[in-house]
Amino acid sequence: MAYQVLARKWRPQKFDDVVGQLAVTRTLRNALASGRLAQAFVFAGPRGVGKTTTARILARALNCQNGPTPDPCGVCDACVEIAEGRDIDVLEIDAATHTGVDNVREVIIAGLGIMPVRDRYKVFIIDEVHQLSAPSFNALLKSLEEPPPHVMFMMATTELDKIPETVLSRSQLYEFRTIGSKAIADQLRRIADAERIQVADESLQLIARDADGSMRDAQSKLDQVIAFTGATIGAADVSTVLGLVGRDLLLDALQAVAEEDAQAAFALAGTAVDMGYDLRLVCRELARVVRDLLVLSVDPSRVSDPEIAGESERERLPALAKRFSREDLLRAFDLLSRAEAEIRAAAQPRYHLEMALLRWIYLRKLTPIEDLIAKAGVGSTSSRLSSPAGSGVDRSFEASSSSPRRSAGPSTPLGTGPSTPLVATVSTPVGARPSASPGPGSSRQQDKQTALPAESEPPKGSFKDALLAQIRTTKSVFYNTVVAQAQTIEVTADRVTFTFSATQKALREMFEQHRAWLESLAQQVAGRKVTVASGNGAEGQAAGATREASQAPAPDRKAALRDQALADAGLQALLEVFPAEIRDVEEM
């Protein structure tokens, strides 16, 4: 007797045998039990997931001598002949062959009025129905809508979008899903045990993964591996026969990236080429491993899931997952997906793989901007990042006062509406540390005994000096943009008063937001209760009154806008993260 391939030998014979399509099979079973059967069915889904098989089981359930029944006996003449594809009343039609309207009229429409020879129903199973021409579909419409009571239509397709809506509206649609690799591996285990094949679960998992959700593909691949190895199958045999990329190579590549070992990464790319792997497949499998690591970083308990890690990988994968942040893995997945697309049309695929691994190594050096801003934000202890001298770095940023802020309270624009944009241009001079030195019109800071430069270290030896030093150490951005801009700082036995001019309204508001913290800090420094307050300078009040009575000169306006920009939380974060200084402030 001729050999029968596993995909045919192990074809499901009843609804309970169909793997991974519980929603479809349960609905059909209930419809058969209750007698609520449609006249036409459309089974849509990927290849090899059970569409045509389910149609045959439904035909057997309708025509079984015990039927209609959700559990056909499988031994009566109708059940046996339908399973073998030789029942005269069940016509299985290949739509790719019978595409034209004449074929449809001759094979289907002409025979609708003829009663079944033996069975209860005459069943038309149209496989790959999307291949029918438009006239063929139109010829079927009336028959689908009002067929004779003894006729059933079952149509299977892998391309649902090519089926006309007029056909779908006359049929019940059942969508089949891809089958999970675990369900496929479990079915392969039952087949292997029944066929007396010695194979490890890890090898079956490799086949299930490569099947990509198709049970028929998995069974065909198992058949192919058995033909190569015989009754004993190893993981290396599966990789060799199916051309799979070894997991050890993939994990070694991730190890090289984690250790930032570019030399090892280049060597592994060469190994993949020498072993004859399709480099697109290498990128795809690397992306799969990256996805597995991301799953483990979210849910470490999934390490026991065979879809994530085989038994030999359950120590190595969690260790690798700890060496990558989630941001690293997300960037790596995008990088590898792009590399796979680039390799498809590349003249030198190896170069693209090598450059992808190298870019991945350098992408791991990136720090999320949220982390940088969190370190540099107001209220956190941080150190200023500086560019190396002579690096030639020149950056420009724009911060709008109408954009969302991270600070606890908003700054009120001076002399403008709340929607008036304010642009501050900052840049990093080559080889110099940033400074937030005041712009034109800042004569209010000429009292050298009380006002401090933004970047200078406060003098030592007094309570005021110690307090200012502590403020600068703890909140350098707040010190540079608010405290150092104060007009005067007066200290008495139990009180410290920071004086701001009327044009520094925004800075004073920022100061008030931090006043409770300043009092706590002053108490720590002095060892006693100290009150911290803010006030308006006489000179500033006069200037403010003059400005309200008549418009202030341009230099005073510039100073006010500059103070407003300095109070912006976003600009403060930029000044902390990037070495920069205020060059100009303009209203837009």
Q: Are strands 488-491 and 422-427 parallel, antiparallel or unpaired?
A: unpaired
The reply to whether 104 and 59 lie within a common domain is yes
The DSSP-derived string for 230-296 is -SEE-HHHHHHHHTPPPHHHHHHHHHHHHTT-HHHHHHHHHHHHHTT--HHHHHHHHHHHHHHHHHH
State how many domains the chain has: 4
Please report the pLDDT score of residue 51 as a whole number: 94
The reply to whether 61 and 95 lie within a common domain is yes
The reply to whether 218 and 342 lie within a common domain is no
Q: Are strands 198-199 and 232-233 parallel, antiparallel or unpaired?
A: parallel
Average pLDDT score, the chain: 79
The reply to whether 343 and 433 lie within a common domain is no
For 46, the domain range is 6-175
Q: Report the 10 Å Cβ neighbour count for 419.
A: 9
The reply to whether 568 and 449 lie within a common domain is yes
Instruction: Indicate which CATH number applies to the domain containing 145.
Output: 3.40.50.300
Q: How many CA atoms lie within 13 A of 521 on its CB side?
A: 20
Amino acid at 375: K
- Per-residue pLDDT tens digits for 475-509: 888 888 888 888 888 888 788 898 988 888 888 88
CA dist 38 and 33 (Å) reads 13
Please report the pLDDT score of residue 431 as a whole number: 40
Q: Report the 10 Å Cβ neighbour count for 300.
A: 12
Has residue 357 been placed in a domain? yes
- Per-residue pLDDT tens digits for 518-573: 888 888 888 888 888 888 865 444 444 444 444 444 556 777 777 777 777 667 76
Asked whether the CA dihedral 6, 11, 12, 17 is positive or negative, the reply is: positive
Instruction: Indicate which CATH number applies to the domain containing 226.
Output: 1.10.8.60
Structural domain ending residue among the three candidates 127, 157, 175: 175
The highest-confidence range among 98-112, 141-155, 473-487, by mean pLDDT, is: 141-155
CA 119 distance to own-chain centroid? 53
Q: What is the pTM of this model?
A: 0.59
Has residue 151 been placed in a domain? yes
Please report the pLDDT score of residue 562 as a whole number: 75
The reply to whether 273 and 258 lie within a common domain is yes
Structural domain ending residue among the three candidates 334, 363, 392: 363
The reply to whether 441 and 487 lie within a common domain is yes
- Per-residue pLDDT tens digits for 46-105: 999 999 999 999 999 999 998 799 999 989 999 999 988 889 999 998 888 888 888 888
456 pLDDT higher than 70: no
Has residue 417 been placed in a domain? no
Torsion over CA of 489, 491, 497 and 502, rounded to 10 degrees? -30
CA dist 108 and 488 (Å) reads 98
The DSSP-derived string for 302-355 is GGG-TTT--GGGTTHHHHHHTTS-HHHHHHHHHHHHHHHHHHHT-S-HHHHHHH
Confidence band for 317, pLDDT divided at 50, 70 and 90: confident
182 pLDDT higher than 80: yes
Residue 496's φ and ψ, nearest 5 degrees, are -125, 125
The reply to whether 71 and 209 lie within a common domain is no
Confidence band for 43, pLDDT divided at 50, 70 and 90: very high
The reply to whether 220 and 329 lie within a common domain is no
Has residue 402 been placed in a domain? no
Please report the pLDDT score of residue 198 as a whole number: 92
The DSSP-derived string for 451-503 is ---SSSPPPSSSHHHHHHHHHHHH-HHHHHHTGGG-SEEEE-SSEEEEEE-GG
Has residue 374 been placed in a domain? no
Instruction: Indicate which CATH number applies to the domain containing 325.
Output: 1.20.272.10
Structural domain ending residue among the three candidates 148, 175, 202: 175
The reply to whether 15 and 130 lie within a common domain is yes
Has residue 1 been placed in a domain? no
Please report the pLDDT score of residue 387 as a whole number: 37
Has residue 264 been placed in a domain? yes
Question: 560 and 554 in contact (C-beta within 8 Å)?
Answer: no
Per-residue CA distances from 131 to 106, 163, 215 (Å) = 17, 9, 23
585: β partners: 424
The reply to whether 454 and 534 lie within a common domain is yes
pLDDT above 70 coverage of the chain, percent? 78
The reply to whether 278 and 227 lie within a common domain is no
Has residue 487 been placed in a domain? yes
